Structures are given as structure tokens and as C-alpha cells.
Amino acid sequence: MEVKKVAQEILREVGGESNIQNLTHCVTRLRFNLKSMDGVDESKIKNITGVVDVVNKGGQFQVIIGSEVARVYGELIKLCNFNDNKEDSSDGPKKGLVNKILDTIAGIFSPIMPIIAGAGMIKALLSILTLVNAIDTSGNLYYFLKFIADASYYFLPIILAVSAAKKFQCNQQMAMLMGAILLHPNFSALKDTAGTVFVLGLPVRIVTYSSSVIPIILIVFVLSYVEKFVEKITPPVIKFIARPLLTILIMAPIALVVLGPLGSIIGDGLVSVLLSIEKIAPWILPTVIGAFMPFLVMTGMHYSLLPAYVNSLSVLGHETIIGPGNLPSNIAQGAAALCVAIKTKNKDFRQLSISSGITALLGITEPALFGVNLRLKKPLIATTIGGGLGGLYAGITGVQRYGGGGAGLAAIGLYVGEDSSNVINALISAAIAFAVTFAIQWYIGFEDVKSKTGGGTIPEIKAAEKQGLLTSEEQYTIYSPLKGELVPISEVSDPAFSSEAMGKTIAIKPSEGKIYSPVNGKLMTIFETKHAIGLVAENGAELLIHVGIDTVELKGKYFKTHVTEGDTLKTGDLLLEFDYEEIEKNGYDPITLMIITNSFQYSEIIGENVEKVHAGDKILTLR
């Protein structure tokens, strides 16, 4: 993968640096907070070589890359001048309450997950070495590795303070100080002398804040408002000294008297609820997670589980919230993709299915989920049943995960504990998920993917006939949407179009700035920038008419629409007008493209052998 080129193309398609509020990444995906979605063409981003898929959920625009995500992220950072407080929510699109909550949780916890995962894998390694008697538990090597792994949990308040400060847009160093105050050994030493002490008449509850999650998030949230208040009231002459002094003197008592104890109570309550669920019905969470984790990932809802997940690990030393169900879910994703690999007749798709299936078994599911299973849809049925049954077994047998990190065979060491039956049951749950998913997928089958080099497989053609799109004898004519000169697709400067990755494409150099409907059908979409229109023909053909290259940057200038979304169209209806001469004067190529975005549903698409066309001339035949 040419990571620099991928980064450049992604940056261009998301609207450039000026449209990015914030950028982070997780194990497989780039996570953008964009100021505006105007002009962001998801289909173009999906067709960038190296991009698996795009998800716009939970207040984030997510570009799924796979294992190379860190390198692409690094190139993006080089291309952009990001600073510590890049986010500016005031300029961004309005979000609903749920999206705001998910976006906040994601912004705080995503950056710390590599630390949790790394520490978890060290603990897994120690567990395996201890199990096979390959390490002396009384020796220095074990001692050092153990406290190195424990450090990420012990200092969670300081680690979380950084990402929370970035999310709430306040001073990171001041936030870290708040975390350090909670962990100072002199404060912790008071635990042995009293449950509550009084300072200037204020009660300070002595709480152990090491490994805590919720207190520091509450503190940094309030800190973001205190800083703004202090900024307003501080005279400019003494601002440099007075601002940090007042901030500390205000925040320290609020943190120690109110927010810290409140967060501790909430955290303790959360742990108590989780323990109650484990005691009453331990199978519920693993079953639900096993069955529906792919859908939670697609919508971004899995972030809602992170506070409880991290809190459980830090307080209890194990978790049953995500891991026991996520393991069989990921294995089910891999099983479905590998079953597809065996049954597909498409060589390219087989290779994708094999690689993504193996990757899913190891714990990274996005390539299998978005590249294979979601694309074919039926495999999701198999993974839901297989993952759910595997999760049910894990819940009934009380499987626990002892560290943060992956949920696949590569991280099976996270399930190794003092009782060897835990890892055995985890492996059995994975085996159940694999066997059930594979068997169901084999039985229900799927509609195969058309080969890029052929005219479509027999199952695809029969499927199209069954849907009523066409018969083997039937054909459908599409007419030219404008007057101009046909240009070979290879001469189009934009690779997303010239590669015909989105479907069969016709390119016309306009000699008149009017776009007419090329079919009878319905208008589905008009982009806000008016440079592109999507419509569906009466026979089901899906068409995208795109005027110019990068003309989204004109933001509607030189364009005028004559229809609205939902309109019924007749061939020859005027859709829009554009000033192609002014577009060209402004440095943009006005070449106009018509793409059949569901080309795979047709066995053959034949173009007319002509050089020049008028609006209404026959230009394509679908069979």
C-alpha cells in the first residue's frame, strides 16, 4: 500500500485540513470529526485503494483501513498542521444527544486503548509463562513485567486526563495535574488514618483513586468551564501568574470534596451492577455481545461499553462485559468469511475473503465485516447466530478476560488465569461460534460477487432476473444526459472515476451546460453543492451524474437545479444547468461523468461507438 498516496486522497475527499476538527485512529480505522459533511462523497472514499469501507455513525466519520491504519494516520499528521486542541465543536454539524455522548466517550477512550491493550498482552504473556512454568514468579523479570503492566491501570487518572482534556478543550497539563493530585502518595496515605478529613471546614473523603476512571472525567469536564471563567475574570497584567493559580485553587477543592468522591460512588455502583448481573444471569451480556457486536461496531454503539469495560478491568482485575462475547463474535466473522472464500467463484473476492477471514480469527474483524459479510448481507445472519451461541456458552461457564486488548486467537492468553478451565471454556465458545456460523453460512449461501474481468457469474445474472431487473432477452437503453464529446475513460484525471471502481462510467466533455434525464425514473439525490445527481431508472438501474472534477469545492457556484429530490422523471427532463466555461476558467475540469453504480447486476453494458453526442442520443445498452 502506498500509504502517502492513500493519506493524500483521503485528506482531499474529506474536505482538506480546514474541514477536520479532530483526527484519531484505533486498531483498524481513522476517526474523523468533520466540521461539515457537505461535499464529502463516501463512495469516492470507499473506492480509494487501501480503504476497506466508510462508516458515518456515532458522531464520527470513520475510514476503515485495516492493519496499515497507523501508517496512514502518520502520513495524515505530516500533511496537516494539527495542534492539541484542533477540535472546535462550535463549527461542526449539530449532533443529537446520543451521538454527542458516543463521540465524547470515543474521543476520551480511543487514544488510551493501545495502552490498555499493550498492558493486557503483557499480563497475558505472564499468565501463559506462569502456566507452563517458564518463568520464576519470585524473580526480578516477573516482578518488573508485572509492575510495568500494572502501571497503565494505576495511573489511569493521569492518562485519561490527557484525552479528556483534548475532548473537552482545556489545558492538558492542568488536567494531568488534577490526576496527579488524586494519586499523590501523601493523599493516599490519609486512607490509613481516616475515612474523611476536614480542611477549612470542608469534608474531604479519602478515596483510593488509582485505577479509577469516572472521577477524573468529571473533574476535567468541570475544569474546562473553570478555565473559561478564570480567563474572563483575570486582569491581563497578571494573567500569566493568576490564571494557573486561581484554576488550581478553585479546582483542587472541587475535585477532592465533590467530583472525586461522586465519581468514586458512581464507579463503585457500576461495578456493583456488573457483579449483580454476573451473579443473577451471567449469560446475558456475552450472548448479546456475541450476537450483535458487528451491529454495535457499525453504529459506533460499542463505545458506550468502554467506561464499564475499563473500570471493571482496573477495579476487579477482569471483565465480562465485552471480551467473553466478543471472542466468539470475532471468530464467527472469520468463519463466515472463510466459508465465502470456499464457495465464491470470484478469484479476487476469494483472496479478500481468505485474508480478511484469517485476520478476523486473529481479532481484527473490520476487513471481514465491511469487505465481505456486510457486503453480502447473508453472512451476518450466520455470524449473529453463531456468535450468540458461542457467547451463551461463555456466559454460562463464566468466562472472564483478564486484560484489555484483542478478542481473537492471537490474544487468547488474555483468558489465561489461575483456573485453566477459563481459557478452555473460552476456546470452546470460539469453536462453537466457528462451527455453527460455518454450517449456517454453507447452508443459506449468498449471491456471488461479479468478477471484474468477466460479464458476471450465472448466479448473479439469475439473481438479477429474479429481482425483475431484466430477462436474458431483455435490454434497457440509457440516453446521453448532455451535448458534448465522448472522452475515453482512461483520460479522466480522477482515478476514482477512471478506474470505474464505482461502476461502468461514460465521460463527456460538455459543449452545452445543461443536464437532462437520461431515463424514465425517479430523482433520489441532489448533492448540496449541486454538482452531482443520483437517480434510479424505471428498470432499477442506479445512475450517478457527476459534473466536473473536484467541483464540489465550488460549493454550488455556477450550478442551478431545476428538480427536487423525489421527483418523477421522464427522459429529456431538464435536471440542472451549469456554466462549464466559468468552471474551466476557475481551474476545474468540467468533464461530466455518468456512472451505472449497480453495474454488477447486469451481464453486459454496451456503449455506442460515437465521438459526439447530443442530449437524448442513445449512449448505453444494459442487458
Active site members: 26, 546
Contact 318, 415 (CB under 8 A): no
Alpha-carbon gap, residue 409 to 430, rounded angstroms: 9
Q: What is the DSSP letter of 591?
A: -
Please enumerate in sequence order all residues whose Cβ is within 8 A of that of 430, keeping only pairs 6 or more positions apart, or say none.
327, 328, 331, 390, 409
* Residue type at 209 in one-letter notation: Y
| Residue showing cell 485540513 | 17
Residues in the chain, overall count: 623
Residue 58 grid coordinates:
456515532
Backbone angles phi, psi at 51, to 5 degrees: -95, 125
The secondary structure of 149-205 as a DSSP string is HHHHHHTHHHHHHHHHHHHHTS-HHHHHHHHHHHH-HHHHHGGGT-SEEEETTEEEE
Residue 445 grid coordinates:
449461501
Rounded-to-5 percentages of helix, strand, coil across the chain: 55, 15, 30
- Torsion angle in degrees (nearest 10) through CA of 131, 136, 141, 147: 60
Instruction: For CA atoms 258, 261, 264, 270, give the dihedral sign.
Output: negative
* Residue type at 528 in one-letter notation: E
The alpha carbon of 155 is separated from its chain's Cα centroid by a whole number of angstroms, namely: 28
The alpha carbon of 310 is separated from its chain's Cα centroid by a whole number of angstroms, namely: 20
**CA–CA–CA angle 345, 347, 348 (5° rounding):** 130
In Å, the largest CA–CA distance within the chain is 92
